[in-house]
């Protein structure tokens, strides 16, 4: 189940990892991995929402200062792509660690819930 908590980034996001975290009271290893996956999923959503706000706001800059607005649009697009790619790469790394029965902590993650 710890492996599936990390892989839920591909098919269920924070819902699946949150469910696994919630029902794994008697399994500390699974609970720790599910909490990490859930926290990382929430962190991903917070960053994606922030980038979406900046992306929408940069359209106003395109009208006022086209050069700045276009550069900002490109930078926000690249940041969003890096966010998506990083999310999936780190999820696979977490799943691999769980399959080896090792602990895994996402490198960039806000810890919203505790295991």
pTM to 2 decimals?
A: 0.86
Contacts of 91 (CB under 8 A, 6+ apart): 6, 7, 9, 10, 37, 40
Q: Does residue 108 belong to any structural domain of this protein?
A: no
Question: How many angstroms separate the CA atoms of 79 and 101, rounded?
Answer: 32
pLDDT over 90 at 66, yes or no: no
Q: Does residue 104 belong to any structural domain of this protein?
A: no
Q: Does residue 82 belong to any structural domain of this protein?
A: yes
Q: 60 pLDDT band (50/70/90 cuts)?
A: confident
Question: What pLDDT, in 10s, does the model give residues 29-43?
Answer: 999 999 999 999 999
Write out the residue range of the structural domain in which residue 56 sits.
Answer: 2-99
Question: What pLDDT, in 10s, does the model give residues 80-100?
Answer: 999 899 999 999 999 999 999
Q: Does residue 86 belong to any structural domain of this protein?
A: yes
pLDDT value for 18 = 92
């Amino acid at each position: 189940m710890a492996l599936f908590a990390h892989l839920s980034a591909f098919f269920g996001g924070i819902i699946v990892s949150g469910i696994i975290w919630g029902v794994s009271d008697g399994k500390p290893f699974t609970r720790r991995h599910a909490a990490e996956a859930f926290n990382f999923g929430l962190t991903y959503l917070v960053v994606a929402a922030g980038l979406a706000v900046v992306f929408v706001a940069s359209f106003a800059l395109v009208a006022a200062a086209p050069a700045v607005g276009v550069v900002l649009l490109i930078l926000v697009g690249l940041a969003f792509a890096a966010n998506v790619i990083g999310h999936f790469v780190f999820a696979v790394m977490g799943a691999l660690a769980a399959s080896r029965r090792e602990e895994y902590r996402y490198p960039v993650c806000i810890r919203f819930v505790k295991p």
